[in-house]
Structure 1
Amino acid sequence: MEWMAWTLPTALFFGVIAALLITFTVLAIKFPETPRMGVLRIETTRGDRLFITLLGSAFINLIWLGLEIGPQPYALLACLVYAAAVFRWV
């Protein structure tokens, strides 16, 4: 990984994303689901909600950095709360 100058946190981040994609692929194959309607009034599947969560988490982290709200690891807690809300109500 030296050619990309990756750090351990960067490698872990992309490893977690890859693991999530693999997990959701296996879940979709083993337990197919029908789309459901949430508060956004659009039909979403697990994969859609994962995408919305990842996109929203990126924005949460950017805002956290830009506004200097606090230490960056606390943004992870905000992202986890956001993810729980998305998977529950969207």
Structure 2
Amino acid sequence: MAWMAWTIPTAIFFGSIAALLIIFTVLAIRYPETPRTGVLGIETTRGDRLFITLLGSAFINLAWLGLVDAPQPWAMLVCLVYAAAVFRWV
């Protein structure tokens, strides 16, 4: 895999995504849930909300890179607030 130029931040990023998927799979098996309807008006499960969070976080980071002069780690704080809001109200 030398062609991919793996760096520590890249490995941490993909490792975090893999860990999230494993954790949510275990949670779904151990604690099944019924879908709930939130502010979007659609039924969502934990996995759906995780997907919405990851997709939204990607767009937040892209917008941060293009529109904001602040350091990129601050975007992670915005993403954490966004994730909390999604898991609470969506």
Counterpart CA distance in 1 for 2:16 and 2:61 is 16
**Deviation at 1:3?**
3.3
**Deviation at 1:27?**
0.3
TM-score when scaled to structure 2? 0.96
Q: What is the identity, as a one-letter code, of the residue corresponding to 1:77?
A: L
Secondary structure of 1:41's counterpart equals coil
Say what the alpha-carbon RMSD is for the aligned residues: 0.9
Secondary structure of 2:39's counterpart equals coil
Q: Which residue number in structure 2 is paired with residue 39 of structure 1? A: 39
Q: What is the identity, as a one-letter code, of the residue corresponding to 2:20?
A: L
Counterpart CA distance in 2 for 1:69 and 1:60 is 14
Q: What is the identity, as a one-letter code, of the residue corresponding to 1:73?
A: P
Counterpart CA distance in 2 for 1:7 and 1:60 is 22
User: Are 2:50 and 1:70 equivalent residues in the alignment?
Assistant: no
**Structure 1 unaligned residues grouped into runs of 5+:** none
**Deviation at 1:16?**
0.1
TM-score when scaled to structure 1? 0.96
**Deviation at 1:4?**
1.3
User: Are 2:29 and 1:29 equivalent residues in the alignment?
Assistant: yes
Counterpart CA distance in 2 for 1:14 and 1:64 is 20
* Identity %, equivalent residues: 82
- Within a 5 Å distance, the mapping from 1:5-16 to structure 2 comes to 5-16=5-16
**Structure 2 unaligned residues grouped into runs of 5+:** none
Q: What is the identity, as a one-letter code, of the residue corresponding to 1:89?
A: W
Q: What is the identity, as a one-letter code, of the residue corresponding to 1:33?
A: E
**Deviation at 1:69?**
3.7
Count of residue pairs brought into register by the alignment: 90
